Amino acid sequence: MNAMHAGTLDPPTTPASAPADGDRRVSLAWGALAAVDDPEIPALSIIDLGLIRSVELASNGTLEVGLSPTYLGCPATEVIRGSVEHALGNAGVGAFAVINVLSPAWTSDWITPEGRRKLESYGIVPPERSAASLREILHPHRAVGCPRCHSTDTECVSEFGSTPCKALHRCRACLEPFEYFKCI
């Protein structure tokens, strides 16, 4: 091929241009994923909750997105996976695969500081630290402060709130019910 026609062709994929395209695809993916809300707590994105473990370009050019469920059997897992696939497809990231990441298991420690702030603003008390045992999950040692009036004069009404990962509490000071996101 002569030099006159070479300028009209797409640039070849070379080792120098592949990382730039890969970086662009990874960046597009993170942007798209940041817009995916958790279906049970729409005030938070799945990134706020720490559900996205990785976004990496595989050697075959496929963008691999590591997704962790909050716990095995979470009813929102398939909805989240579908939302992730939809968001990535609409973002134009090219070929991608959503990979289930089960180990290490998701922990509430992975909720970002912004996610914790959003939980509290939404009226759900964020977890302070991960629990070392099931006993700590079901019976936290500290008083759970009300997200509305900040009183610690609260009581647990039910170990399960609107979802199994939250407990239902009531504030004795302002009498408002609220949920506590359990430490997992």
Domain residue ranges in the chain: 7-100, 111-181
CA separation for the pair 162, 32 (Å, rounded): 27
Angle among Cα 102, 105, 110 to the nearest 5 degrees reads 120
For 87, residues 6+ apart whose C-beta sits below 8 A from its C-beta are 32, 33, 35, 36
CA separation for the pair 87, 35 (Å, rounded): 8
Kindly state the average pLDDT of the residues 20-40. Answer: 94
- Which residues are bridge partners to 40 per DSSP? none
- The pLDDT of residue 3 is 34
Which numeric CATH code is attached to 7-100?
A: 3.30.300
pLDDT digits (tens, 9 = 90+) for 45-93: 999 999 999 999 999 999 999 999 988 888 899 999 999 999 999 999 9
Q: 136: helix, coil or strand?
A: helix
- The pLDDT of residue 172 is 96
Structure tokens at 137: 């999950």
pTM for this prediction: 0.74
